[in-house]
């Protein structure tokens, strides 16, 4: 049997998509469901004030739509979805969003008390976040009962 060529350094199986991208950091901002939207708005304001570009931020709601999403939809579906593609501004959507959408920062608003829906939304939001996922609401609803409260000191 002939020996094969010598192994090349640095050659091995190529890493899959999950290996190339580190998991985003997750921060929690504690709030009851009724206050989650307000806490999320404060979080978004802080993100923007700390230097994040508006196009880096995606806000997803588990319950009722964010008022800004409702406002943008009043101009029509086509214009609303064009904003997602353009990526110039903070985009607000339902957490059950079925379009491909990801941003560096995802703010998940847990403004519903359904643990099933919140848990699924958390998993989906985690996959949409590039660097940071901020969960505003009750951590226990997304399956993280011991998550410490976080102030929106988000970079």
Radius of gyration, alpha carbons of the chain? 19
Domain-embedded: residue 9: no
Domain-embedded: residue 147: no
Domain-embedded: residue 17: no
Domain-embedded: residue 105: yes
The CATH number of whichever domain residue 73 belongs to comes to 3.40.50.300
57-61, strands of its sheet edge to edge: 25-30, 129-137, 103-109, 57-61, 91-94
Q: Where are the alpha helices (DSSP H) in the chain?
A: 17-20, 36-49, 67-73, 77-86, 115-128
Domain-embedded: residue 93: yes
CA atoms within 13 A on the CB side of 101: 28
Angle at the Cα of 50 (from 92 to 44), degrees rounded to 5? 20
Instruction: Kindly give the confidence (pLDDT) of every residue in the chain, 155 residues in length, as a single tens digit, with 9 standing for 90 and above.
Output: 444 444 444 444 444 554 566 889 999 999 999 999 999 999 999 999 999 999 999 999 999 999 999 999 999 999 999 999 899 999 999 998 888 888 999 999 999 988 899 999 999 999 999 999 999 998 888 876 555 555 444 54
Q: Give, in order, the Cα–Cα distances in Å from 123 to each of 15, 24, 96.
A: 22, 12, 11
Domain-embedded: residue 5: no
pLDDT for the residue numbered 148: 55
Number of domains in the chain: 1
Are the CB atoms for 103 and 129 separated by under 8 Å?
yes
Domain-embedded: residue 10: no
Domain-embedded: residue 101: yes
d(CA 87, CA 107): 16
d(CA 128, CA 46): 20
Domain that holds residue 126: 23-142
């Amino acid at each position: 049997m002939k020996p094969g060529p010598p192994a090349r350094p640095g050659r091995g199986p190529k890493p899959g998509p999950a290996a190339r991208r580190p998991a985003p950091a997750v921060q929690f901002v504690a709030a009851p469901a009724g206050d989650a939207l307000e806490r999320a708005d404060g979080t978004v304001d802080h993100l923007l004030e700390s230097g994040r570009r508006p196009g880096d931020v995606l806000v997803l709601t588990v319950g009722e739509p964010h008022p800004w999403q409702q406002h943008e939809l009043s101009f029509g579906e086509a214009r609303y979805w064009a904003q997602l593609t353009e990526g110039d501004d903070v985009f607000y959507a339902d957490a059950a969003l079925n379009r491909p959408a990801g941003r560096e920062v995802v703010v998940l608003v847990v403004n519903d008390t359904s643990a099933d829906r919140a848990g699924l939304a958390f998993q989906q939001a985690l996959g949409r976040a590039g660097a940071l996922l901020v969960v505003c609401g009750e951590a226990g609803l997304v399956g993280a009962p011991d998550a410490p409260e976080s102030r929106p000191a988000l970079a």
